[in-house]
């Protein structure tokens, strides 16, 4: 065996040279890997005894793409194009041997090989779109030449990973090797093509599929139309489509030029920077500096839930979905029946939509037990309380649980705002108490805020994070403070939105600006959807707030056909003249001189105080790192991924600009805009939020 460099070896098996890459964790195309490929293939070409070459990887995967950490840095070593040219122009067949995932630049390398062999468990994909990019190493020009433009469009715009069997059907893979015997399979395949004198198949020269799509612009129009909502605001999906259009309409080398130009634009832009930030943030969020990896985990084999309402039911589904038995406790039979009925209905609807077979409904329901007796939770390993948001009620529940549930179990609350340290005083084992703040609908929303209280044990934290992963959530560990991280930041935006409509804007102005910024909906549309009467009390309502007045008129949101907006029978919203008048009257009563408010002011007043609050959260140590706040807001509130979350957006704008605006607002509008000490510090030290 010859070492080509630290990450590459060359070995000969008869007339076949095997070039092996070994660069953990995912064999990304770093400078040494590119050098290893270029030099390894060259040596094999130069060796007259070698008849064919196999390119294979050690570790858990084939090349998983370009090294994302290299983007934005000065290029080093041979380029990816040098490595690819060495392969594609080799006078001997080169076979890619694929296991794990061949993704992005990894698949693009495989596409310059003359043949591809994979094990059945392998997957191939061009997921660049999820990083705000497009495949920039020929992927958009080669993939449609093998699989056809329609399938290529689907792959590049979704970033989906396609299983090896499907790849074989699509012609992306030439042969499947036996699982666990990739190297033998690939070498045998290489020997076979040498014996059969098969040609050096260059994907770039295949033209029939792209030519067949020429003059059919509807292929592209259709995908744009079908995904208009999903692609809204993102640059990368459109750029990927334009590249496939170029593959169809231009010769290969011209198409590559288009790909290069658009790739450069994306890779240097703010959207891709934001999406790459999110990629790493999603992995960082699991890392807990003071909870070591070897912290003992509490086995969770049975889950108890108190409360079969919307929240409790949704939470239960998460555990049933992964095969964990759940006992759900209610106080009244009809509430229990209703709760269990909703869960069943949700599952039946999913089965009808084809998400899983009908038998699965019974399987999941079979894991669910309803009860009116808290004693039935005695042997649960994790109990989650999801009752009414009232401190006395919660403390009462925890006091009872303390007496019933076995020692060593986790006692969790789903409170979204109450002080968990205080809840923990109701038990003799505060170390067992933690917050598991699910977002509604709890079976759908990806975010889980894991809220550590003062006395929560590390074991309970580590287990909660692990269980979150098991049920497919993305969990952020946060500390106890009003609203925790997500709602605490939300409160800033809600306050400003309300003030803005008093001072001069209308609800639809505020909503439009925030929607255009990329949020799924603005604060007023959101209130209408949720229902304006949440927490509103009919008896006590005296028309003191705008909300009181709307609810008193029975304008309680979408469900009553009117709220901040008027709704037609299809729930389409229209600005409401009634609300407009109500706002003008209200402002007049309060002596507010309304003024014209610009879109810029709306955006800055809604978003900058959120960033400022994020800085306070960091300075108080209620979030571990700035990127965790981004994760919370992207996954819990739909903050646009292409802006990287509120804190990354703060860095994009510049902390200095955020601070200057906060000071300007503070001078005219008071201490709602008082800058966080950490914001001042970041600016004084010339740092970024992402440094924290």
**C-beta of 65 vs 507, nearer to ligand 3H9:** 65
128 catalytic? Reply is: yes
**In terms of CB distance, is 61 or 415 closer to ligand 3H9?**
61
Spatial separation of the C-alpha atoms in residues 607 and 618, rounded to whole Å = 17
Contact 450, 436 (CB under 8 A): yes
For 111, phi and psi rounded to 5 degrees?
-75, -15
Six-digit token string for 20? 């092996």
Residue with smaller CB distance to ligand 3H9, 71 or 515? 71
Residue from 28, 86, 550, 623 binding ligand 3H9 (CB under 6 A): 28
Q: Closest approach of Cβ 32 to ligand 3H9, in Å?
A: 13
Q: Report the largest interatomic distance among the alpha carbons of the chain, rounded to a whole angstrom.
A: 93
State in angstroms the smallest separation of the CB of 134 from ligand 3H9.
7
Count of residues near ligand 3H9 by CB under 6 A: 26
Of 32, 135, 148, 304, which lies in the binding site for ligand 3H9, with binding defined by CB under 6 A? 135
What would the two tokens of residue 397 be?
């529940």
Catalytic option among 11, 58, 70, 108: 108
Which residue in 88, 128, 601, 613 is the catalytic one? 128
Q: Which of residues 604-633 bind ligand 3H9 (CB under 6 A)?
A: none
Phi-psi bin for 531: left (phi > 0), alpha (psi -120 to 50), beta? left
Nearer Cβ to ligand 3H9 (284/419)? 284
Which of 103/602 has CB closer to ligand 3H9? 103
* Rounded-to-integer distance, Cα 593 and Cα 470, Å: 54
Residues sharing a CB contact under 8 Å with residue 241, sequence separation 6 or more, in sequence order: 153, 156, 157, 220, 223, 224
Return the structure tokens found at 663: 């000071």
Q: In the complex with ligand 3H9, which residue's Cβ is closer, 110 or 573? A: 110
Encoded one letter per residue, x for contact with ligand 3H9 by CB under 6 A and - for no contact, window 46-85 reads ---------------x--xxxxxx----------x-----
Q: Which region, judged by CB under 6 A, interacts with ligand 3H9, from 130-138, 243-251, 405-413, 542-550?
A: 130-138
* Interface mask toward ligand 3H9 for 136-175; x: CB under 6 A: xx-x------------------------------------
SS (H, E, C) 627-638: HHHHHHHHHHHC
| Smallest distance from ligand 3H9 to CB 648, Å | 17
For 31, the enclosing helix (H) or strand (E) is helix 31-46
Minimum CB distance to ligand 3H9 smaller for 96 or for 532? 96
Does the CA dihedral 167-170-173-174 come out positive or negative? Answer: positive
Per-residue contact flags (x/-) with ligand 3H9 for residues 90 to 129, judged by CB under 6 A:
-----------x-xxx--x------------------xx-
CB of 287 to ligand 3H9, least distance (A): 7
120 vs 399 by CB, closer to ligand 3H9: 120
Closest approach, Cβ 140 to ligand 3H9, in A, equals 9
Q: Is 150 a catalytic site residue?
A: no
Q: Using CB under 6 A as the criterion, what x/- string covers residues 8-27 for binding ligand 3H9?
A: -----------------xx-
**Interaction between residue 131 and ligand 3H9 (CB under 6 A):** yes
Q: How many CA atoms lie within 13 A of 167 on its CB side?
A: 31
Query: With DSSP H G I counted as helix, E B as strand and the rest as coil, what are the percentages for the chain, rounded to 5?
Result: 50, 15, 35
In angstroms, the CA 64 to CA 101 distance is 6
Kindly state the smallest distance separating residue 26's Cβ from ligand 3H9, in Å: 4
CB atoms within 10 A of CB 472: 11
| E-only strand ranges, 555-643 | 565-567, 573-575
- Region from 42-50, 134-142, 240-248, 430-438 binding ligand 3H9, contact rule CB under 6 A: 134-142
With a CB cutoff of 8 Å and minimum separation 6, the contacts of 313 are 328, 339, 340, 342, 343, 346, 442
Radius of gyration of the chain (CA): 29
- For 114, what's the count of Cα atoms within 13 Å in the CB-facing half-sphere? 21
Chain positions contacting ligand 3H9, by CB under 6 A: 25-26, 28, 61, 64-69, 80, 101, 103-105, 108, 127-128, 131, 133, 135-137, 139, 280, 283
Residues annotated catalytic, as ranges:
108, 128
């Amino acid at each position: 065996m010859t070492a080509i460099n630290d990450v590459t070896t060359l070995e000969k098996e008869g007339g076949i040279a095997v070039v092996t890459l070994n660069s953990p964790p995912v064999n990304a195309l770093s400078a040494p890997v590119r050098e290893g490929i270029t030099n390894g293939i060259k040596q094999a070409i130069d060796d007259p005894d070698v008849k064919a070459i196999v390119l294979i990887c050690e570790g858990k995967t084939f090349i998983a793409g370009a090294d994302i950490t290299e983007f934005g840095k000065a290029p080093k070593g041979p380029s990816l194009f040098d490595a690819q040219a060495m392969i594609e122009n080799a006078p001997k067949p080169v076979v890619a041997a694929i296991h794990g995932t061949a993704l992005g630049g990894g698949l693009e390398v495989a596409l310059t090989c003359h043949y591809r062999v994979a094990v059945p468990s392998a997957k191939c994909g061009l997921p660049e779109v999820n990083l705000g990019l497009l495949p920039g190493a020929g992927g958009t020009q080669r993939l449609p030449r093998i699989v056809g433009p329609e399938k290529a469009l689907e792959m590049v715009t979704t970033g989906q990973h396609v299983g090896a069997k499907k790849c074989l059907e699509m012609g992306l893979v030439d042969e499947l090797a036996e699982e666990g015997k990739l190297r033998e399979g690939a070498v045998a395949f290489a020997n076979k093509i040498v014996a059969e004198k098969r040609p050096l198949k260059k994907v770039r020269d295949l033209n029939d599929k792209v030519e067949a799509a020429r003059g059919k612009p509807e292929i592209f129009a259709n995908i744009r139309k079908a995904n208009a909502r999903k692609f809204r605001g993102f640059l990368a999906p459109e750029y990927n489509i334009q590249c496939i259009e170029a593959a169809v309409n231009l010769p290969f080398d011209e198409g590559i030029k288009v790909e290069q130009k658009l790739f450069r634009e994306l890779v240097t832009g703010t959207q891709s920077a934001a999406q790459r930030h999110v990629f790493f943030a999603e992995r960082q969020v699991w890392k807990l500096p003071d909870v070591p990896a070897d912290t003992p985990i509490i086995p969770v084999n049975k889950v108890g839930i108190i409360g079969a309402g919307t929240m409790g039911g949704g939470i239960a589904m998460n555990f049933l979905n992964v095969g964990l038995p759940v006992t759900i406790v209610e106080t009244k039979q009809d509430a229990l029946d209703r709760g269990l009925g909703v869960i069943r209905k949700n599952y039946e609807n999913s089965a009808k939509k084809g998400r899983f077979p009908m038998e699965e409904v019974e399987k999941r329901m079979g894991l669910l037990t309803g009860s009116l007796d808290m004693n039935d939770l005695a042997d649960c390993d994790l109990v989650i309380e999801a009752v009414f948001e009232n401190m006395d009620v919660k403390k009462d529940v925890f006091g009872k649980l303390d007496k019933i549930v076995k020692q060593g179990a986790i006692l969790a609350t789903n409170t979204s705002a109450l002080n968990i340290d205080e809840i923990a005083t109701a038990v003799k084992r505060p170390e067992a108490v933690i917050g598991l703040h699910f977002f509604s609908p709890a079976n759908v929303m990806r975010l889980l805020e894991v809220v550590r209280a003062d006395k929560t044990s590390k074991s309970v934290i580590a287990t909660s994070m692990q269980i979150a992963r098991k049920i497919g959530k993305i969990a952020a560990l946060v500390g106890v403070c009003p609203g925790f991280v997500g709602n605490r930041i939300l409160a800033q935006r809600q306050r400003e939105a309300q003030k803005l409509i008093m001072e001069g804007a209308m609800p639809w102005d505020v909503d439009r600006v925030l929607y255009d910024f990329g949020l799924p909906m603005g604060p007023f549309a959101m209130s209408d959807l949720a229902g304006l009467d949440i927490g509103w009390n009919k008896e006590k309502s005296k028309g003191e707030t705008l909300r009181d007045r709307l609810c008193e008129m029975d304008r309680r949101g979408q469900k009553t056909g009117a709220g901040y907006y008027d709704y037609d029978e299809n729930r389409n919203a229209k600005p409401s003249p009634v609300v407009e008048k109500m706002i003008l009257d209200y402002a007049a009563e309060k002596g507010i001189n309304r003024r014209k408010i610009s879109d810029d002011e709306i955006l800055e007043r809604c978003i900058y105080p959120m960033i400022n609050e994020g800085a306070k959260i960091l300075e108080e140590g209620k979030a571990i790192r700035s990127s965790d706040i981004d994760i919370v807001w992207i996954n819990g509130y739909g903050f646009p991924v292409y802006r990287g979350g509120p804190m990354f957006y703060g860095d994009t704008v510049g902390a200095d600009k955020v601070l200057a605006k906060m000071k300007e607002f503070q001078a005219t509008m008071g201490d709602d805009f008082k800058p966080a000490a950490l914001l001042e510090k970041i600016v004084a030290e010339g740092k970024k939020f992402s440094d924290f």
